[in-house]
Amino acid sequence: MEKTTGSEAGPLISISHLTKRYEAGDPALSDLTLEIRRGEAPAVLGPSGSGKSTLLNMIAGLDRPDEGTVTVDGVRVDRLGEAGSAKYRRATIGMVFQFFNLLDDLTVQDNVLLPAQLAGMPRAKARERALELLADLGIEQYRGTFPGRLSGGERQRVALARALMNRPPLILADEPTGALDRASAGSVVRLIRELNERGQTILLVTHDTGLAASCATRTIELVDGRLVRDGAAVTQ
């Protein structure tokens, strides 16, 4: 992995002139330039189809931009190959999805253990970390349960625990409350805020301004793949 700048001091994410086209027609993202510092919890806002998930995928190295650069924690993400980006994700990114994306045939604990196992963390240490996270998120009683038996809110906690497993500098959360009822959504929001207060950088994607207001330190608004607003958190 190539590191460009002395990383600790600079921004965690640095995006410059990022453009992504899928097929003919308007690009999903066009000429986006953006910096996110460590410890921030920005919310990317915008209507459905405005390119929020695309931006997240670029940052996670799940897809490649057509133009521009994406640098995360000193790594030029847009230049990584498949193997390189896998390593990068293990080390740097924790992802949380709208539909949880838990593996249904693994228990809660096994789901949470996965990132550590893929990264080759020693067993005992991984187990210890997983148990600590499950306890922290209040789901240790579901350790041996399969995700299919859990409520949406519980599943999203499992997903959060999994994202935190390798202590990544950056959490990417794509509509984490989109599939949850009000009460569950509220508790997930509280968790995100707590995590951020402890210093975790979290990039939150949502089309829900209420959610953005309740836990974001900054809002970035996309419309048709363009940055239309970047500023302090809106308060309702």
Partner 1 sequence: MTGGLGTIVRAGVGRRRVQTLVMGLTTTLAVTAAVLAAGLIVASEGPFDHAFNRMRGAHLSARFDSSQITPAQVSATARARQVTTAAGPYPLVSVKPTPVDTDGGLPPGIQLADLTVVGRQPGGPVDDLTLTKGRWATKPGEIVMSAHNEPFVLGNTMRFPGVPGDRLFKVVGIARSAGETADAWVPRTTIPSLTAPGSRADYQMLYRFETASTHAQMDADRTAIAALAPGRSLVGVQPWLKVRLAATRVSATFAPFIVAFGILGLIMSILVIGIVVGGAVAAGTRRIGILKSLGFTPGQVVRAHLGQALIPGGAGTLLGLVFGNLVAIPVLGDTAEVYGVGRAGIAPWVDVLVAAVALLTIAAGAWVPARRAGNLRTVEAITMGRTPSRDRGRVARRMLGRLPLPRPLTLGLATPFARPGRSATMAVAVAVGTIGATFGIGLALSLNGVQSGINLRSPGDVVVGDPTSAVNTEKVDAAITRQPGTGQWFNSAEANLGVAGLAGSTTVISYQGDSSWASWQMIRGRWFHGTGEVVTASGFLRATGTRIGDSIALVNGSRSSTVKIVGEALDVRQEGMLIVLDRTSIAPLQPRIDPLSYRFNVRLKPGVDRDDYIEAANRDLEPLGVSATRNSNKLSDTVVSMDALAGALTVLLLSVAGLGVLNTAVLDTRERVRDLGVLKALGMSPRQTTAMVITSVAGVGLIAGVIGVPIGVAVHGVVLPIMGHAAGTDIPAVDAAVYDLPLVIPLLLGGLVIATAGALLPAGWAARTRTAIALRTE
Ligand X SMILES: Nc1ncnc2c1ncn2[C@@H]1O[C@H](COP(=O)(O)OP(=O)(O)O)[C@@H](O)[C@H]1O
Positions in the binding site for partner 1 (CB under 8 A)? 57, 60, 62-63, 82-83, 86-91, 93, 95, 97, 99, 101-107, 110, 113-115, 117-120, 123, 146, 148, 162, 166
- One-letter amino acid for residue 9 of the chain: A
Q: Which does 219 bind (CB under 5 to 8 A by kind): ligand X, Mg ion, partner 1, none?
A: none
- One-letter amino acid for residue 106 of the chain: L
Instruction: Check residue 177 for interaction with ligand X (CB under 6 A).
Output: no
Query: What is the rounded CA–CA span in Å between residue 158 and residue 139?
Result: 8
Task: Pick out residues in 24-63 that bind ligand X (CB under 6 A).
Answer: 28, 46, 48-54
CA angle 93, 44, 170 (to 5 degrees): 15
Q: Which does 122 bind (CB under 5 to 8 A by kind): partner 1, Mg ion, ligand X, none?
A: none
Residue with smaller CB distance to Mg ion, 53 or 166: 53
Tell me the closest approach of the beta carbon of residue 54 to Mg ion, in angstroms.
8
Residue with smaller CB distance to partner 1, 119 or 234: 119
Residue with smaller CB distance to ligand X, 53 or 109: 53
Helical spans, DSSP H, in 81-122? 82-92, 108-119
Tell me the closest approach of the beta carbon of residue 146 to partner 1, in angstroms.
7
Q: Is 7 exposed, middle or buried (0-12, 13-18, 19+ CB in 10 A)?
A: middle
Instruction: Check residue 22 for interaction with ligand X (CB under 6 A).
Output: yes
| 108: its two tokens | 């809660």
Query: What is the rounded CA–CA span in Å between residue 69 and residue 67?
Result: 7
DSSP H or E stretch at residue 222 = strand 218-223
Q: Which does 22 bind (CB under 5 to 8 A by kind): ligand X, partner 1, Mg ion, none?
A: ligand X
Instruction: Check residue 166 for interaction with ligand X (CB under 6 A).
Output: no
In 152-167, which positions are buried (b, 16+ CB within 10 angstroms) versus exposed (e)? Answer: bbbbbbbbbbbbbbbe
The count of residues in the chain is: 236
Residues that bind ligand X (CB under 6 A): 22, 28, 46, 48-54
